[in-house]
């Protein structure tokens, strides 16, 4: 199972050639994303001064074909542990990345497709599939 990170979702929606090529590479795999990643993409769409309705519709269409791993209590426990461990090691990353990682690990997903490999490589138990 591969989780699509926010960077991938945005790049794919923007027709980034590297994201498109990665999508072709992984098309036969079990693909998921997290509710945290959905939040991040939607926030990006809504925060724009001139958010376009077609961006929202394209994103809705994209995620309608992807299983969504939902943030829950187990995800919160794992995300807080990840965050704490990284802070103690002086290797802190964005809180949203920790929330997504906690969600993934709670749902037994150990691979993420992302351009943000520096952050996710710091998290034990997650394999980074970059593009």
Mean pLDDT by 10 residues, the chain (131 residues): 98 97 96 98 89 88 96 98 97 95 98 95 96 94
Say which residues have a Cβ less than 8 Å from residue 39's Cβ, sequence separation at least 6.
96
Is domain 2-129 in CATH 3.40.50.800, yes or no?
no
Q: What was the pLDDT predicted at 53?
A: 81
Looking at the whole model, is its pTM more than 0.85? yes
C-alpha to C-alpha distance for 35 and 109, rounded to whole angstroms: 14
Tokens read off for 69? 């791993």
Phi, psi angles (nearest 5°) of residue 58: -65, -40
Burial class (CB within 10 angstroms; exposed 0-12, middle 13-18, buried 19+) of 44: middle
Q: What was the pLDDT predicted at 51?
A: 66
């Amino acid at each position: 199972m591969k989780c699509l990170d926010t960077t991938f979702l945005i790049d794919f929606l923007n027709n980034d050639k590297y994201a498109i090529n990665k999508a072709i590479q992984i098309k036969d795999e079990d693909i998921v994303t997290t509710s945290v990643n959905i939040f991040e993409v939607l926030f990006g769409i809504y925060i724009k001064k001139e958010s376009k309705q077609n961006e929202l519709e394209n994103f809705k269409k994209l995620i309608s074909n992807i299983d969504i791993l939902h943030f829950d209590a187990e995800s919160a426990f794992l995300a807080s542990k990840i965050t704490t461990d990284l802070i103690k090691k002086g290797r802190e990353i964005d809180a949203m990345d920790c929330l997504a990682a906690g969600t993934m690990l709670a749902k037994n997903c150990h691979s993420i497709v992302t351009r943000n490999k520096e952050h996710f490589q710091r998290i034990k138990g997650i394999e980074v599939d970059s593009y």
